[in-house]
């Protein structure tokens, strides 16, 4: 009988906390960055900011209502209104096989709101190839990576990306990889499709044997890497034609290359590679690739859910403690 008296409140608490835990609001669908529609998104009010090799977080959604903040910079996070997006930029350069490199490397990522409202990779070799010891097609590689992570209190089930300049014509080889991340911030699958090592230096000639690769490349991966963007590699290079994935249509996890609809999405990556295939007769060159905007469909916990759940767990501990005190002789307490 005493056992039943103990179990009864425990079951009540477990039921109550499970019910509270299940309370959500939404779904909501909101677009962020918003192109040039400055007044429509708080991210557009962030001062133009380099985020090269850094991590920044923003509170862009009101956790009380589920709506995005508009008309002003994102407010500071609070214990009841958490940061919603974490933006991670990683920018690297690989000097291939010790070949001489240009004097200045453009290798940055920045938030450029207000006038053009985007997050932008900037990659380039800001010096001509006519330097002592320069070789044709040195194969150096710039890698600019942007990762946007969705906070754990956001249950994101659909993602749409508006991207530009992923695989643009020029005298060096720009190509890009887009990846959707699961709730552990891991790609849903390995990259499949390209016949060369994506992200390694000195890959142009191997990739050119098949014309490069454009399209889905495993679950949650999209590659824009046509090699027709540059011509005459091995001599003084010329401008080719931008690849079919240079400005892809909106990439949508429900229709393009996404996981099963309603699978939780943890975030995404935009990685742009810029391989130096110029010849000794080529000059400086600089490119950009951009995330214009992204749209997510999400739900969030009802206000007070986390606090109520914590209270329920604490009460369960108190009930157990009081029960033990009744059973254990006072002399042993």
Q: Which residues contact 172 (CB under 8 A, 6 or more apart)?
A: 124, 125, 230, 237, 274, 275, 276, 277, 278, 285, 287
Q: Given the structure tokens 């020029």, which residue do they identify?
A: 170
d(CA 259, CA 21): 25
Q: Among 70-79, 121-130, 206-215, which is the least confidently predicted range?
A: 121-130
Residue 316 is predicted with a pLDDT of 42
**Residue 308 pLDDT > 80:** no
Task: Identify the residue with better confidence: 27 or 97.
Answer: 27
pLDDT score of 75 more than 80: yes
Q: What's the mean per-residue pLDDT of the chain?
A: 83
- Which pLDDT score is estimated for 15? 40
The residue-averaged pLDDT of 8-23 equals: 47
The pLDDT value recorded for residue 325 is 42
Q: Is the peptide bond prior to 27 cis by the omega test (within 30 degrees of 0)?
A: yes
pLDDT of the residue at 262: 76
Q: Which tokens in the block code for residue 174?
A: 């720009």
How far apart, in whole angstroms, are the C-alpha atoms of residue 86 and residue 107?
21
- List, as one string, the DSSP characters of 202-245: S-HHHHHTTTEEEEE-STTEEEEEESTTEE-BTBS-EE----TT
CB atoms within 10 A of CB 93: 18
Q: Which of 142, 143, 125, 144 is nearest to 134 (CA)?
A: 125
Residue with structure tokens 């930029």? 89
Distances (CA, A) of 140 to 85, 95, 118, 175, 229: 32, 5, 27, 14, 17
Residue of higher predicted confidence among 261 and 191: 191
DSSP 73: P
pLDDT at 8 over 60: no
Q: What is the DSSP string of 150-192?
A: E-TT-EEEEEEEEEE-SS--SSSEEEEEEEEE-TTS-BSS---
Distance CA 157, CA 162 (A): 17
Domain ranges across the chain: 1-23+304-333, 26-301
**Does the structure show a pLDDT above 50 at 306?**
no
Q: Are 96 and 139 in contact (CB under 8 A)?
A: yes
Which one is predicted more confidently, 203 or 106?
203
CA atoms within 13 A on the CB side of 166: 30
Residue bearing the bigger pLDDT, 282 or 10: 282
162-184 pLDDT tens trace: 999 999 999 999 999 999 999 99
What Rg value do the Cα atoms of the chain yield, rounded? Answer: 26
Give residue 104's pLDDT.
Answer: 73
How would you classify residue 151: left for phi > 0, otherwise alpha for psi between -120 and 50, otherwise beta? beta
Average of pLDDT values for 141-167?
A: 96
Q: Count CB atoms within 10 A of the CB of residue 8.
A: 10
pLDDT for residue 212? 97
Among 279, 274, 254, which Cα is nearest to 199's?
Answer: 274
pLDDT of residue 298: 96
Query: Between residues 206 and 281, which one has the greater pLDDT?
Result: 206
Gap between the terminal Cα atoms of the chain: 24
How would residue 310 be classed by pLDDT, with cut points 50, 70 and 90?
very low
**What pLDDT was estimated at residue 134?**
75
Rounded to an integer, the average pLDDT of 131-145 is: 84
Q: Is the pLDDT of residue 317 over 50?
A: no
Q: In which band, very low, low, confident or very high, does the pLDDT at 329 lie, cut at 50, 70 and 90?
A: very low
pLDDT at 315 exceeding the cut of 70:
no
Q: What is the pLDDT of residue 73?
A: 85
246-286 tens-digit pLDDT:
999 899 999 888 888 878 999 999 999 999 999 988 889 99
Record the tokens describing residue 38, joined without a space. Answer: 């400055």
């Amino acid at each position: 009988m005493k056992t039943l008296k103990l179990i009864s409140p425990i079951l009540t608490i477990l039921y109550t906390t499970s019910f509270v835990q299940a309370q959500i609001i939404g779904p909501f669908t909101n677009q962020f960055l918003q192109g040039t529609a400055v007044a429509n998104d708080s991210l557009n009010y962030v001062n133009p900011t380099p985020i090269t090799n850094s991590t920044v977080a923003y509170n862009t959604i009101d956790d009380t209502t589920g709506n995005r903040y508009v008309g002003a910079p994102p407010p500071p996070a609070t214990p009841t209104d958490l940061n919603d997006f974490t933006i991670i930029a990683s920018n690297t350069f690989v000097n291939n096989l010790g070949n001489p490199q240009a004097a200045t490397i453009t290798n940055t990522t920045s938030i450029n709101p207000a006038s053009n409202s985007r997050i932008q990779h900037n990659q380039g070799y800001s010096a001509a190839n006519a330097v002592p010891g320069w070789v044709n097609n040195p194969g150096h590689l710039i890698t600019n990576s942007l990762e946007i992570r969705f906070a754990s209190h956001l249950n994101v089930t659909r993602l749409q990306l508006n991207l530009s300049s992923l695989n643009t014509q020029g005298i060096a080889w720009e190509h890009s990889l887009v990846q959707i991340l699961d709730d552990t911030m891991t790609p849903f699958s390995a990259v499949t499709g390209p016949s060369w090592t994506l992200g390694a230096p000195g890959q142009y000639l191997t990739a050119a044997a098949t014309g490069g690769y454009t399209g889905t490349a495993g679950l949650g991966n999209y590659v824009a890497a046509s090699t027709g963007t540059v011509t005459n590699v091995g001599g003084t290079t010329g401008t080719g034609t931008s690849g079919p994935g240079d400005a892809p249509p909106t990439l949508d996890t429900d229709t393009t290359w996404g996981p099963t609809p309603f699978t939780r999405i943890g975030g995404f990556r935009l990685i742009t590679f810029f391989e130096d295939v110029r010849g000794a007769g080529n000059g400086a060159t600089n490119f950009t690739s951009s995330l214009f905007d992204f749209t997510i469909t999400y739900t969030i916990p009802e206000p007070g859910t986390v606090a109520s759940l914590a209270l329920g767990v604490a009460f369960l501990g108190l009930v157990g403690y009081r029960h033990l005190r009744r059973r254990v002789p006072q002399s042993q307490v």
